[in-house]
Amino acid sequence: MLYGLGTNSRTQTIAAVEVAVGAGAKDSGCRDGPAGFRQQAEAELRARGVTLTWRHMPQSLRDAGASPLDVVASTARWTARVTRNFVTKDNRFLVVGGDHSCAVGTWSGAADALRPSGALGLIWIDAHMDMHVPETSHSGAINGMPVAALLGYGAPQLTSVAHRGAAIDPRHLCLIGARSFEPEEAAFGQRHGVRVIDMPEVQRRGVKAVLAEAHAIAASGTAGYGVSLDLDAFDPVEAPGVGTPAPDGIRAADFLAPWSELIKDPACVGIEIVEYNPALDRDGRTARLMQDLVMAWV
Ligand SMILES: [Mn+2]
């Protein structure tokens, strides 16, 4: 099915939000993700008819000697204000991370804006499940916890960013591409009834079919949905510039067309592309993939 008609205009503007956070990861290098993306891909996007207008994260939010949790939580509060504003005004947004802890702010704000009209659905495309709570995490890294936080579990600073309690109802959440996770996360997902389409299932059924299922989960009975894309969902051959690569991932050639259909649905309120670590990229491969992912939106 066709979700939306393309536009005939020659140039398109996308509202981009820079969430330059790295405190949620063991390697803080994806703090440089938005700057690296701009440097590697922005000129080429402009040449292809797409202009990004940026909301920059205030300098004061970057580390400043506070604990990682403090940095992540204050970043989340800022991000939530920005995305809440976009969704309230019916403007779709692109968040560029940053480590995946940025998702706590992105979707807390979007859910808060939609709350008067209904729930927010969420599609989470990632090699990992990100469903740890501080008690189960082996590494303590906050970028392994955002899904749990959005479901209302974890550090109080992360579960009440825009609103007290869960931002996302597990019935409207779907994870895709999981292949590297701890048993505690799988148990958490089962306990809460989260639909997890793991990588073997993606390979068996194909990307198009699993994105269609995820769309049904996130779009049915909700006021809109978002898509959070962790670049480590892709095979490291195609997206080496990530902090936590996992082999045997999704291939861009299978992904781009159904991704385009998924995010062009007017019910899609915004998207998020995270975990780009420019220092680990090879020949600009990951940045080029990000460019294609953004081009698929127009
Ligand atoms: Mn992730």
Give me the DSSP letters along 52-79: EEEEPPPGGGS-TT--HHHHHHHHHHHH
Q: How far is the CA of 148 from the centre of ligand 1 (A)?
A: 12
Q: Does 243 fall in a domain?
A: yes
Q: How far is the CA of 25 from the centre of ligand 1 (A)?
A: 10
Q: How far is the CA of 124 from the centre of ligand 1 (A)?
A: 8
Q: Does 226 fall in a domain?
A: yes
Q: Does 1 fall in a domain?
A: no
CA pair distance 210, 217, nearest whole angstrom: 11
CATH code of residue 89: 3.40.800.10
Q: How far is the CA of 5 from the centre of ligand 1 (A)?
A: 31
Residue 159, pLDDT above cutoff 60: yes
Q: How far is the CA of 9 from the centre of ligand 1 (A)?
A: 34
Q: Does 99 fall in a domain?
A: yes
Q: How far is the CA of 143 from the centre of ligand 1 (A)?
A: 6
Per-residue pLDDT at 165: 87
Q: What's the burial of 193, exposed, middle or buried (CB within 10 Å: 0-12/13-18/19+)?
A: exposed
Q: Does 7 fall in a domain?
A: no
Q: How far is the CA of 284 from the centre of ligand 1 (A)?
A: 21
Per-residue pLDDT at 65: 67
Q: Does 6 fall in a domain?
A: no
Q: How far is the CA of 11 from the centre of ligand 1 (A)?
A: 32
Q: How far is the CA of 10 from the centre of ligand 1 (A)?
A: 34
Per-residue pLDDT at 64: 60
Q: What average pLDDT does this structure show over 58-80?
A: 89
**Contact (Cβ atoms closer than 8 angstroms) between residue 93 and residue 86:** yes
Total domains in the chain come to: 1
Residue 8, pLDDT above cutoff 90: no
Q: How far is the CA of 65 from the centre of ligand 1 (A)?
A: 24
Q: How far is the CA of 291 from the centre of ligand 1 (A)?
A: 19
**Contact (Cβ atoms closer than 8 angstroms) between residue 41 and residue 2:** no
CA pair distance 12, 33, nearest whole angstrom: 23
How many residues appear in the chain? Answer: 298
Domain enclosing residue 58, as ranges:
12-295
Per-residue pLDDT at 2: 36
Q: What average pLDDT does this structure show over 153-173?
A: 96
Per-residue pLDDT of 170-191, as tens digits, reads 999 999 999 999 999 999 999 9
CA pair distance 228, 107, nearest whole angstrom: 9
Q: In 10 A of CB 270, how many CB atoms?
A: 25
Per-residue pLDDT at 11: 82
Per-residue pLDDT of 77-128, as tens digits, reads 999 999 999 999 999 999 999 999 999 999 999 999 999 999 999 999 999 9
Q: Does 225 fall in a domain?
A: yes
Q: Does 4 fall in a domain?
A: no
